[in-house]
Structure formats: structure tokens, C-alpha cells
Structure 1
């Protein structure tokens, strides 16, 4: 039988990450400082882009009653710490011995702004003169305690795997995607299905979950952050409720130069992207703070459970879009500067208060305790339960460590 060549026509559909789409994603997830730097770079390359910088001024947190009486003064919430400060506090809470602390500090020094480790573990082990298994052991402890999950990952696949394990979603389809991220980036999900021997529908479902993870958990921290940073959004209470607006003093305005010249189309496209970014940021910020009105009124102890999926569904956006928008985005409120990402919090128990609210109550209980008789984790769990929030002792210990609060016996010695 002779073989014959056959010509056939096939129609396929795939998403390609074009230059324009990549630029839109970069602009969407940039905070005010990062976006300002990007606009300055573009203006330096394209003379058709005109930047009008806002008047230079030091940002003063908008606590309207800051100079009133103590009774009228609202609680002042500090902004999120820098990545370095957050990691150092986490290492201190682990109570490592001297040798382990030395390894943990070396791992912290190797962190990139993304939250990944930039050096190989064998290189770190060789520098410190210790066995590789010891470095891996300390790394596993850091990854298990890390908040947000994914810090101290060795690469992108490791970062996403840690989040999949945390969500109890590391099944066969998810593992297959993580093992073939290079193919996934090319959109070859059908090839992954063939190689892994899995159903295409299962892989697509796993891919949907994968896109909700944060590939750069360190991006929500400001490098070398001051206690309060100039925010991207401003929340004010009006007659009809809380209104969110852009902080215009944090961004330059962009316009196209008069006359003709090469680069005008690119300048107009950039302006359109900026306008789209601002509109999306406003709608997401408004939706988040509308859901967290109680926290604006009473403080972080009133945070209600909220997920990115809920906000995405309400706005008709994808979870990955919400994740990009809130990464590194801050909002100025009468109670201080808050990270938008920090307002997303789940409830440890269905129908119960959010984890963020529980951590706030826990911090207040410790702050108000008798220094001579500090509360144990069991006592803290009972106190939270009396407030209508049943919680396990191990969960209290986890939240206490996240807040950098030492155990009772160490608090007694410090007192």
C-alpha cells in the first residue's frame, strides 16, 4: 500500500501575549511609583509623550482628627512593612538557633522583590560551609510559615506549587501544569494533556485555579518602605457613602505633543492604556471598600470575609485581573494607609469572622493583657471564642506568629 500526502485545513484558537497586551498587563499591575517610572522611561524614548508632573510635596496621611482630642482621634493604622522587615520579623518568630538563623538570613538576603530566591541552594550552602540538606530544612520551615504563601520559592513553579498545596489543590492536573509551565506559556495545553494522559477539561479547570495564584508574592511589599507611603487611591465618606478617587498627586498627567511626528500613535495608545488602568483601579477599589465599609467605620477588627473571586464576579473581570490590580496598591483612609490586598481575607470557619478581623482582635487582647500574667494561646483561643469566634489553639499560634507576637513566657520576660 502506498502512502499518500494529504492536504487538510485545520482551525485552532490560542491566546498570544502580544507586545500591547504585555504592556497593558504591566501598566495594570503597577503602583503609582512604578507607573511613574515607566512613564518617564517612555517619555525619554518618545518625544511625542508629554508628562506634566504634579507639584512636589510630602504626603501627609489624611487623618482629619489627628490634631483633635484623644477621644476624637481615630485609630492610626500603619502601612504594610517592607519585604525585608516582614521577612526579618518572620525569622525572629521562628525562634531558630544561631546556626539556623545564619542560614535563614542568607536566604532572606537572596530574596528578589518578587519574593523568590535569586541564588541556588548549593551556592548558599557552599558560602556558609554547611550541608545542603541543612539549608533545605531551614528553607522548608520558612516556606511553611511564609505569609503570603509563595515567599522563599526557588522559581515560578515552586511558588505556584506552594500556593496549590496551601489551597489543597495540588492534584494530578495541577501537577502536570506546574511540570510543563514552558508549554503552558505557549498555550499548548492540548500537548500537556497528551503527555500527561489527562482529560483536557480537567487541565482547563486546573488552569483556571492556577491563574488565581499570585506569581510574585513579594510584589505587595514596598522595598525600603517608609511607615506611611503615598497611596494610589483616596477613600472619603460623602453624603451617599464612601467614595474612592485616584490620588492625582501621585501620578503625572500624560498628553500628546502638538504638531506631527513619529510616535504619536504609540503615545495615544499609551494614554488609552493609562485611562483603562485608572478606570479598572477605581472600580476595583470602590467595590472592595464598599464590601469593607465596616472596617472603614470601625477599624480592621471589622473586616468581613472577602475573596478575589467575589470581586471579579461582581465586576465581570477575571481573578487574575483583580490580583494584578491590588498588587502593591495602597488606599488612604481616615484610619491610615491600607494595602488593598490585605483587605482580602477568608474565614477560618464557615459563617465566622474573617482571619484579618481575628488577627486584629488577637493583637488587641495581647496589647491589653496583664504584663505579669500574659495570656497563653489556649486562653487567647477561649477569649476569642467568647467573642463569638471559635478558633483552635494552633490557629491562634499561627496568627500570633504572623503578628510577630512572642509566646506567653517570652512576653512575661520582656515585661
Structure 2
């Protein structure tokens, strides 16, 4: 059974609206953004102060609270150990290879940077006619922060003096890239595009399309009225609504790009990850999850301010002390939520962490939220823009743990690496089907392009050159 070491939960006490709101805002921030926010508050609020960080008496490592650190306390018991440490100390013990253990020392690698526009263009380039590339570039640079098209397609057609059908053909090609539905003109169209594409490879709930046709009612969760107007039973409408909520996203760019812009700005590079995963020892039985604390110390109320408030009857210090207490409480709730999320996520996706992408288990944010008793939006905020370093030293987006196609892409790479003669995409589709992956040929082509693998003809030419 999954065991974890983490700080005592503080969320059992009733939360005020202000505390909950601030916790949600802080949860969305990366460790670097959180550090900047705390430094700003420390400079503006004299009631808040930062003390020296306590150290573990067993190993001497800085920790988030006094006493034995979780690593030493459960060195021989836990399978998953959650540990928080100042982000400035991450370079002291970040291993670069799976064989290295918790005490190994190596600086973390930088995360890869790529814009959403470039990511989409890389997927559709092979299917894009040379003369259509300017149209694709125009559409991709017009995407807003949600991945939706910021200009009418008719305007693009008029700009290039081309028929609308040609612009629509390019736009539909972009919609099929990951994340699905980008370049749609509205949230409703994005959902419809995603539903249509998913319907090519899986069975959809019978009332799914009807729910999208009553988009306004669906947005207000008025499922009874949809059932009344459509003739479907309420149970069928609820099933379809749940499927849409779990598998579709009205704002496609958020599925890949978090809250970052998809208009060409590169994703931020995190030289230091927000979370580091590594093995406790060479045996690889226990996994250490180290979460970044944005400061090397403990935040607390300034004792002088507390004393001054006790002696003052005017309430002049109340606002500053209230702000300090709210921030300290919200930070504790944020860290607790992240610890719970990472402990559960590491337990569910341990095969992926140990053996690689081919062992990725299908997992949605909705399922993880249900497991933890959180709202799905809480998971989305916690995952957004965070970076995780795996035990082998690679830094990946935390959102990668929720990618549905990762295991299929890994299986595709493995097939091509071990093929006797280059297989066409149609042959690859059949081979993947035998392994349990139900994919269309178009999806196989897209995944091959995402992995940077040339087509069968180019692979044949490369082999002939090597054999000369």
C-alpha cells in the first residue's frame, strides 16, 4: 500500500473565502514566481519576517520544519517520500542518472522551449502543401492565449486572395494537431472538433453531440432541459456531459500550454525544476519527491509587531498582521495540496517513472481530483506550468503525466527502431493495433511527426546510404 511522509494536513479546518482564493492563486504559480511574490510581500509588509531554516539533526539537510526530516524518518519504510526543501538547495543533490541516489550531486538540466505555434506546425508540416504554408503561419500566429483563432477565417482568405475552402482545409489540419481543437473560432467549435476527432478512434456517448448543440444549457449544467429538448434520457445526457468534461477542453491551449500564451512566446525555461524525483538508494525501492520551497527559511509573524499590536488599542497593526497570517496559511495549504497531488501521482504513474513512456497509464485530471477529493480546477492550477525532474535527469512538464497519447507514441518509436524494413504508416497502424492501440492512420502520421521520425521512403533512403 502506498505510504507517504508529509506534513500534517491543515485543510481540515474551515477555510475562509479569502484564504481559499489566495491559496488557489498561489497554487498556480511556479516556485520562481512564488519566490518573487513572497519577496514583494516581505518588502511591503513589516509584520512578516523570514527566519533561518531549521536543519534535520540526522543528515544536516535544511528542511521546512524542525525535527527529523521525512527522508531520515522513513528511510526503510516508505515507498513514496514527500519532502520539501528550499529551491536554492536543489542543485546540492539533484542526480542526473537513474543509477544515482538521493545524495548524488549534479545540476539539473534546462527544460526544452517551444512555442505552441511551432509545436503545431511541426505536426502538420508533412501534410501541408508548400503553397499553404503562409496560410498556416498566418493562422498560427493569430492564435490567442486559449489556442482559439483571434481573427475570422474570411479575413485570412481575403488577405491571401484565396477561396475560403482552402483556408478551412488548413484550419482543419491545425485542429487535428495536439492539443486538439486549436484554431477553432469559438469554445463551442473547439469542443465539436475534439469530439469529431475522438470519434474516429473510440465509441462516443450517444448524446455527446446533442449536448454540444445545446452549448449554453450545458455550460450552465442544465442537463434536465437538454434531455427534455432532445428526447434523450437524463442518464444519457449525464453520461455525455461527464465524458465531455473529462475528455474535451473548450480552451485547447490550456491543455498543453497552461496559462502561457500560444501566440509565439516560448514556454519559460526552468533551470531548477519545481519538483525533483529520485530514488532514495541504489535499490530503487523508495521514491523521494522533493518539492521546491521558494525561500530558505520559515515565514512567521514579526514578534515585535505582535507585541506592538497587543499594546495598541487603535488597530493600526491589524491589516498588516492579517495579511501576513493569510499568506502563511495559504502557503501551507498550497504546499499540502502539492504534496498530496505528487504522492498520489507518483504512485499511479510509477511504471512510467521506472520504465519510461511506454508504461504511461491513462490518467485524467478529473480522475486524480476525484481520488484526492479536490475540484478538477485545483488539479489544473497545481499542474499548470510546473516542471518535474525524473530520476534519469530529464526535466518534463508536469502535464506530461496526463498525456493520453504518450504510451502510443513510445510504442510507435519502438516499432520503428526494431523494424526489419521501413514500414509505411498504414503498416504501422496495423502493427500498433495488434499491440492494443486503436489509432487511425492519420493519428499514426501525426505521432510520427511529433517524434521527428521521417516517413518510410526517407528511412529507406537513409538505410541505403548507410549500406553503401
What's the TM-score, normalizing by structure 1?
0.71
Tell me: CA distance 1:313–1:105, structure 2 relative to 1, closer, same or farther (3 Å): same
Shift of 1:43: 6.7
**Which of 178, 189, 195 is the equivalent residue of 1:158?**
189
- From the superposition, tell whether residues 43 and 98 of structure 1 become closer, same or farther in structure 2 (CA, over 3 Å): farther
The 1-side partners of 2:47 and 2:192 are apart by: 44
CA distance 1:207–1:390, change in 2 (3 Å): closer
Match of 1:408 in 2: 456
C-alpha separation in 1, matches of 2:241 and 2:179 = 21
Instruction: Say which of 356, 378, 388 aligns to 1:321.
Output: 378
Which shifted more, 114-123 or 208-217?
A: 208-217
Cα distance change of structure 1 residues 153 and 382 upon mapping to structure 2, 3 Å threshold: closer
Alignment of 1:344 with 2:381, yes or no, is: no
Residue 130 (structure 2) pairs with residue 85 (structure 1): no
Q: Note the C-alpha offset of 1:376.
A: 2.0
Looking at structure 1, the residues matched to 192 and 92 of structure 2 have their Cα atoms a distance apart, in angstroms, of: 41
- Pair 1:281 & 2:338 matched: yes
Aligned to 1:377: 425
Q: Does structure 2 retain, via aligned residues, the 8 Å contact 1:231–1:331?
A: yes
| Match of residue 170 from structure 2 | 138
Q: Tell me which residue corresponds to 1:29.
A: 28
1:178-327 → structure 2 map (5 Å cutoff): 178-179=215-216, 184=220, 208-212=242-246, 213-219=248-254, 220-221=256-257, 223-225=265-267, 229-238=271-280, 241-248=286-293, 259=305, 260=317, 262-327=319-384
Distance 1:121 1:42, change over 3 A: farther
Cα distance in 2, alignment partners of residues 33 and 296 from structure 1? 25
Unaligned ranges ≥5, structure 2: 1-16, 52-85, 101-108, 306-316
Q: 1:136 to 1:330 in 2, by over 3 A?
A: same
Question: Partners in 2 of 1:198 and 1:81 — Cα distance?
Answer: 44
Alignment of 1:3-22 (within 5 A): none
What's the CA shift string for 1:216-273, capped at 9, x where partnerless?
4323336424776532211122265213221235899765566225343244323333
Q: How does 1:28-67 map onto structure 2 within 5 Å?
A: 28-36=27-35, 62-65=94-97
How big is the shift at 1:82? 3.5
Query: Contact 2:191/2:212 (CA < 8 Å) preserved in 1?
Result: no
Instruction: Please identify, of 261-270 and 83-92, the stretch whose mean Cα deviation from structure 2 is larger.
Output: 261-270
Partner of 1:175: 212
Would the aligned equivalents of 2:113 and 2:266 in 1 still touch at CA under 8 Å? Answer: no
Which residue of 2 is the match for residue 99 of structure 1? 131
- Offset at 1:108? 1.0
**Whole-Å Cα distance in 2 between the matches of residues 19 and 196 of structure 1?**
41
**Which deviates more, 373-382 or 285-294?**
373-382
What displacement does 1:105 show? 0.5
Distance 1:201 1:252 in 2: 53
**Deviation (angstroms), 1:42:** 6.4
How far apart are 1:104 and its partner, in Å? 0.8
1:396 to 427, 432, 444: 444
Greater CA deviation, 308-317 or 105-114? 308-317
CA distance in 2, matches of 1:28, 1:334: 24
SS at match of 2:290: strand
Give me the CA root mean square deviation: 4.4
Q: 1:177 to 1:66 in 2, by over 3 A?
A: same
Q: In structure 1, the residue corresponding to 2:131 is in which secondary structure?
A: helix
**Structure 2 Cα separation of the partners of residues 391 and 81 of structure 1:** 29
Q: Pick closer, same or farther for the CA change 1:245–1:133 going to 2, 3 Å.
A: same
**Quick check: 2:87–2:292 contact (8 Å CA) kept in 1?**
no
- TM superposition score normalised by structure 2: 0.64
Q: CA deviation at 1:279?
A: 1.6
Give the C-alpha shift of residue 283 in structure 1.
1.4
Structure 1 CA distance for aligned equivalents of residues 269 and 140 of structure 2: 21
The gaps in structure 1 that reach 5 residues or longer are 1-17, 69-75, 347-354
Number of equivalent positions: 376
- 2 CA distance for matches of 1:252 and 1:85? 41
CA contact (8 A) 2:19 2:329 kept: no
Which whole-Å CA distance do the structure 1 matches of 2:185 and 2:92 have between them?
Answer: 39
